Structure 1
Amino acid sequence: MRVAVGQMTSTSVHATNLHIANELCERAKAAGAAMLALPECFAFIGGSEAKETVAQATALNDEPFGDFQGLARRHGLWLSCGGFHERASASKVYNSHVIVDASGSIVRAYRKCHLFDVSIPGGAVLMESKTTVPGDAVAEVVETPVGRLGLTTCYDLRFPELFTALARRGAEVILVPSAFTVPTGLAHWHLLLRARAVETQCYVAAAAQVGTHNAKRRSFGHALAVDPWGDVLADAGGEASPAIVCFDVDRDKLATLRARMPIQKHRRQDVLELALFDRGDDEETAAARDY
């Protein structure tokens, strides 16, 4: 059960992004993959104007998303379309991670729930909430030919409880399509992806944007595949575009690891839920929690 993990440099030109995605599909098919994972914003990355992102957004049953469904049909591949601007209203979008089967049908759509609102001193100022409505359905797990997929998107990576929920619902491979900034990528990309794999005892596949998209935006790259022990199986590096890396899902390896170290059975869910959701904190504890 082979998965191809894509890396690309999206721009504001839909046709160019589609052409690159088609090339990634060709490479994935030639490598014997049953599924290709595309990164966040695979169809569009605009400039600094938030209204540009909103203006080009469409429903999932319209173009340009239909073009990517066509790629799945043409190549006979399942696609993880890692972050599509789905129209939510006249002024907002959803950042939707959509799973498409090899016939081109939409199987599941997860709307990113953690939005990246960050101002880096001397660096990027990215306020995703200016354009995006957060989703409220989480722990989406999908049966596919490459195993049970858990769906996340980019900034979700920093919230381990979401990954734990996916593992408890049976995920075997967790997808983390991303467009990480260079400073945060250098500091935390490999560290967090390996940690999430170890904690959940899942494969983690992180398709990535890479390089310069426009005058104000660059992405870290390093599309990654990590095994359930935390070992990096493949890394596309910080320059190659377009590129894929591939890995094989070994269910026997998963089962053996989980049997030898049954983390989910050991988890004190009763205690952890009290710690996570207690609202009877004193003022000092509440301030620390909500920093």
Structure 2
Amino acid sequence: MAGLCLVLDQSGTAGSEADDLRRLAARTDEAAKMGAGLLLLPELDWGGYGHAETTRTRALSRIELQARLAPMARTNAVDIVIGYPEQDGGAIHNSVLWVGARGELVANYRKLHLWGDYERAVFTAGDNRPPLVARHGLTFGLLICFDLDHAVTAQDLARRGADVILVSSATSAPYHMVPRAQAPARAYENAVFLAFCNRSDSDGETPFIGESRVLAPDASILAANEARDAQMIAARIVPQDFAEWRQLHSYHDALRLDLYPVP
């Protein structure tokens, strides 16, 4: 069958580094059995969310994390996109790393919009717009959680040519409107596929809500998790199925830039 098989794992658990590596290897194996070309994981899947000292202890450079993930990516011929605390000198960034199926470093993105006192105390915000990644015959954009609340971020990626937006998230109660309303709206208003992978574990006092989903450019659901279900979900991204829709609903191209200038 044509298209890319995209698998989301919202389990979002974190333990020791050894535990995380075993879990990631097992989940990558399972994703490969599901036919995945790409496995998307939640925000701060590596190292956990909400514990500042653990975050500082588990932070790695992009090269260090790539080295840990490369063997499982190569073994299964699966791209891995994972949220992690990125160490860069004296700063820690809330980042997403993309490791390719040959173990290569494909992309790294640092979250621009930090959420709440915890994130602002622990992380340094990124300075660069999200990268575009040409892969699997598609163009991808990357966002992390609160980035999605700012509509211009998805619009910018669509205007620059993104076909698919990958969102790693750690959305908690009471923000059920993010997967149920905001994510579909971003897909529809930009005529893009959007994959929203959200943690479903309960880390300390933060009850993450899960509800991960893959949305088509018309906001229809291609695959979805029920609430905090830990099962992995798969969706096939077939651009041809929505080519006409995207052509007729390119609303970002119709924006009155003379009145609403967008960088």
Shift, 1:6, TM fit: 1.4
Aligned to 1:236: 225
Secondary structure of the equivalent of 2:95?
Answer: strand
**2:57 maps to amino acid:** A
**1:27 maps to amino acid:** E
Conserved in 1, the CA contact under 8 Å of 2:9 and 2:39? yes
* Match 1:201 to one of 191, 204, 213: 191
Alignment of 1:151 with 2:142, yes or no, is: yes
Shift, 1:169, TM fit: 1.0
Shift, 1:236, TM fit: 1.5
* CA deviation map 1:1-48 (0-9, x unaligned): 211111113224222222222222122211112111111111111554
CA distance in 2 between counterparts of 1:12 and 1:30 reads: 25
CA distance in 1 between counterparts of 2:122 and 2:14 reads: 17
CA distance in 2 between counterparts of 1:100 and 1:267 reads: 35
Aligned to 1:173: 164
Conserved in 1, the CA contact under 8 Å of 2:47 and 2:59? no
Aligned to 2:45: 42
* CA deviation map 1:141-194 (0-9, x unaligned): 10111621111011111011010110011111100111111212x233221100
* CA deviation map 1:64-100 (0-9, x unaligned): 542222221111101112x21111343x311111111
* Runs of 4 or more above 3 Å deviation: none
Across the aligned residues of Structure 1 and Structure 2, the Cα RMSD in angstroms comes to: 1.8
Conserved in 1, the CA contact under 8 Å of 2:183 and 2:194? yes
Conserved in 2, the CA contact under 8 Å of 1:110 and 1:140? yes
CA distance in 2 between counterparts of 1:229 and 1:77 reads: 27
How many percent identity over aligned positions?
25
CA distance in 2 between counterparts of 1:25 and 1:8 reads: 13
The 10-residue stretch of structure 1 (4-13 or 144-153) with the greater mean CA deviation from structure 2: 4-13
Conserved in 2, the CA contact under 8 Å of 1:147 and 1:249? no
Aligned to 1:108: 107
Aligned to 1:66: 67
Secondary structure of the equivalent of 2:181?
Answer: helix
The 10-residue stretch of structure 1 (259-268 or 94-103) with the greater mean CA deviation from structure 2: 259-268
Secondary structure of the equivalent of 1:182?
Answer: coil
Conserved in 2, the CA contact under 8 Å of 1:25 and 1:36? yes
**2:54 maps to amino acid:** E
Give the structure-1-normalised TM-score: 0.83
* CA deviation map 1:207-234 (0-9, x unaligned): 1211222x32321111111110011221
Bigger Cα Rg: 1
Shift, 1:54, TM fit: 1.5
Aligned to 2:128: 137
CA distance in 2 between counterparts of 1:191 and 1:216 reads: 25
CA distance in 1 between counterparts of 2:245 and 2:50 reads: 45
Unaligned runs of 5+ in 2: none
CA distance in 2 between counterparts of 1:182 and 1:26 reads: 31
CA distance in 2 between counterparts of 1:13 and 1:172 reads: 36
Conserved in 2, the CA contact under 8 Å of 1:18 and 1:43? no
Secondary structure of the equivalent of 2:62?
Answer: coil
Q: What is the aligned length?
A: 260
Aligned to 1:96: 95
**1:209 maps to amino acid:** R
CA distance in 2 between counterparts of 1:46 and 1:177 reads: 13
CA distance in 2 between counterparts of 1:270 and 1:188 reads: 30
* Match 2:21 to one of 18, 41, 63: 18
* Match 1:162 to one of 153, 160, 168: 153
